[in-house]
Amino acid sequence: MFNIPDDLNLRIPGPTPLPAEVREALAQPMMSHRSRTFGAIHAEVAEGLREMLRTTNDVFVLTASGTGAMEAAVVNTLSPGDSVLSAAGGKFGERFRTIASAYGADIVPLDHTWGTAAAPDDIGAALDEHPDVRAVLVTHNETSTGVTNPLRDIASVVKANNTPPLLIVDAISSAGCIELEVDAWNIDVLVTGSQKGWMIPPGLAYIAFSDAAWAAHAQATMPRFYFDLTAAKKKLLANQTPWTPAVNLFYGLTAALRLMRQEGVDNIWSRHQRVADHTRQRVQEMELELFATPQYASNTVTAVQAPADLDVAELRRRLAEKHRVILSGGHGPLKGKIFRIGHLGNVSEPAIDAALAAVAEELAER
């Protein structure tokens, strides 16, 4: 057996702490994934996800990481040589671009400085300059920088002309936490992952697919098999999956969705806003500097600028060993320059206070 302490304060932007109800559900006995009982579970999950995402579109549950869903979004809608506008200002925006490029998309890069948000006007100008763009890739919430891009405004710009490109959104760390309206904002493809705001372990990814996405799918020629949504659509009609799913994760997702529906979507969004505001206020009271542009600071993860004399890796090690507090460091050019505090999913202010008290103690002992 592994010795994972019950008092571990896991404050990274995923995987996130599991509610007791989810942990209990995960331990239920295994069943046949072709049984009527599993079909009923699948039906409940699909309905709950549509409610949480504010959509009537098809929503598929893939046994994969969020990156798998990003790949599925690309290969089910595009063909090699298609022009794709990729707005990126962090590691995960760049990953989306890399996936599309790997399958032969012709990338139109639109970069913004890490720590700032994508500008809708810049996206509009890029679309005017490149009228052949077939799809726009956007990361809603960039956990590598602690920035939430203004997706509603971006969507409005993308969908402004008579023949708009597809809007394909990575909402892996925003869906289920931050205001998000798939149908009202005209999002064609949205992907998210189980280990974030959905409060279950890694291993499931969800993808919402609009009518326009299905029209593109009919013409798309990028290779696909495991992630072919034609197969998933056929099985969805029977409340099944085309391939063997992670059955116990469906148990956990059912429990998590029941908790989320009990709390209510708007209340979940409000709680994340409240906890994020609390986190940022506490960080500033410690005379530490926030990294992200304040207007676009994420409600799921706060990036903190490390003091010049701080060894971030050593701080994280001491926090883990002495306090059982787990924080994230920076990626790429931000490695050693920031540390990140996750506050998404099963989170409230006391957990944040405990984590920041430990940070304050360790900073005082430098």
Predicted pLDDT of residue 1: 63
Number of domains present in the structure of the chain: 2
Q: Is residue 274 part of a domain?
A: yes
Sheet with 301-305, strands from edge to edge, namely 289-290, 301-305, 338-342, 328-329
Predicted pLDDT of residue 286: 97
Predicted pLDDT of residue 366: 79
For 278-290, what is each residue's pLDDT tens digit? 999 999 999 999 9
Residues 272 and 246 in one domain: no
Q: Is residue 99 part of a domain?
A: yes
SS (H, E, C) the chain: CCCCCCCCEECCCCCCCCCHHHHHHHCCCCCCCCCHHHHHHHHHHHHHHHHHHCCCCEEEEEECCHHHHHHHHHHCCCCCCCEEEEEECCHHHHHHHHHHHHCCCEEEEEECCCCCCCCHHHHHHHHHHCCCEEEEEEECEECCCCEECCHHHHHHHHCCCCCCCEEEEECCCCCCCCCCCCCCCCCCEEEEECCCCCCCCCCEEEEEECHHHHHHHHHCCCCCCCCCHHHHHHHHCCCCCCCCCCHHHHHHHHHHHHHHHHHCHHHHHHHHHHHHHHHHHHHHHCCCEECCCHHHECCCEEEEECCCCCCHHHHHHHHHHHHCEECEECCHHHCCCEEEEECCCCCCHHHHHHHHHHHHHHHHCC
Contact 75, 103 (CB under 8 A): yes
For 117-133, what is each residue's pLDDT tens digit? 999 999 999 999 999 99
Residues 269 and 159 in one domain: no
For 241-277, what is each residue's pLDDT tens digit? 999 999 999 999 999 999 999 999 999 999 999 999 9
Residues 6+ apart with CB under 8 A from 45: 61, 250, 253, 254, 257
Q: Which residues of the chain have pLDDT under 70?
A: 1
CATH number for the domain that contains residue 137? 3.40.640.10
Query: Which residue reads 């959509």 in tokens?
Result: 55
Residues 287 and 255 in one domain: no
Predicted pLDDT of residue 166: 98
CATH number for the domain that contains residue 344? 3.90.1150.10
Residues 46 and 176 in one domain: yes
Residues 236 and 331 in one domain: no
Residues 253 and 283 in one domain: no
Residues 235 and 328 in one domain: no
Q: Is residue 1 part of a domain?
A: no
Helix (H, G, I), strand (E, B) or coil at 277: helix
Residues 180 and 193 in one domain: yes
Residues 87 and 43 in one domain: yes
Residues 89 and 179 in one domain: yes
CA distance 24 to 33: 19
Residues 290 and 210 in one domain: no
Q: Is residue 106 part of a domain?
A: yes
What would the two tokens of residue 148 be?
A: 């939430």
Look at residues 229, 261, 293 and tell me which one is the last residue of a structural domain.
Answer: 261
CB neighbours of residue 297 within 10 Å:
22
Q: Is residue 3 part of a domain?
A: no
Residues 37 and 171 in one domain: yes
Expressed as residue numbers, the domain containing 63 is 20-261
Predicted pLDDT of residue 204: 98
Look at residues 261, 280, 313 and tell me which one is the last residue of a structural domain.
Answer: 261
Look at residues 203, 228, 261 and tell me which one is the last residue of a structural domain.
Answer: 261
